[in-house]
Amino acid sequence: MPRFSANLSMLFGEHELLDRFDAAARAGFRGVEYLGPYDHPAEEVSARLKKNGLTQVLFNVPSGDWAAGERGIAILPDRIEEFRAGVDKAITYARALDCGQVNCLAGIVPAGAPREELEEVFVGNLKFAADRLGEAGIRLLIEPINTRDIPGFFLTGTQQALNLMEKVGSQNLWLQYDIYHMQIMEGDLARSIEANLPRIAHIQLADNPGRHEPGTGEINYPFIYDFIDGLGYSGWIGAEYKPKAGTEAGLGWFGKFAGKADAAA
Contact in structure between 235 and 203 (CB atoms under 8 Å): yes
Report the pLDDT averaged over residues 121-149. Answer: 98
Q: What is the average pLDDT value for the chain, to the nearest integer? A: 96
Residue 265 clears pLDDT 70, i.e. is over it: no
Q: Give Cβ neighbours of residue 233 (< 8 Å, ≥ 6 apart).
A: 2, 193, 197, 200, 203
Question: Taking the domains of the chain in order of start, what are their residue ranges?
Answer: 3-250
pLDDT in tens, 5-16: 999 999 999 999
- pLDDT category at 262 given cuts 50, 70, 90 is very low
Distant-in-sequence, close-in-space partners of 222: CB < 8 Å, separation ≥ 6: none
What is the pTM for the complete model shown? 0.95
Give the CATH fold of the 3-250 domain. TIM Barrel (3.20.20)
Stretch (H or E) spanning 135: helix 115-135
Whether the bond into 209 is cis, omega within 30 of 0? yes
- Cα(245)–Cα(158) distance, rounded to whole angstroms? 31
> Which residues participate in catalysis according to the annotation?
143, 240
| pLDDT range class, residue 260, cuts 50, 70, 90 | low
Q: Comparing C-alpha atoms, which of 151, 138, 50, 35 is closest to residue 95?
A: 138
More confident residue, 256 or 240: 240
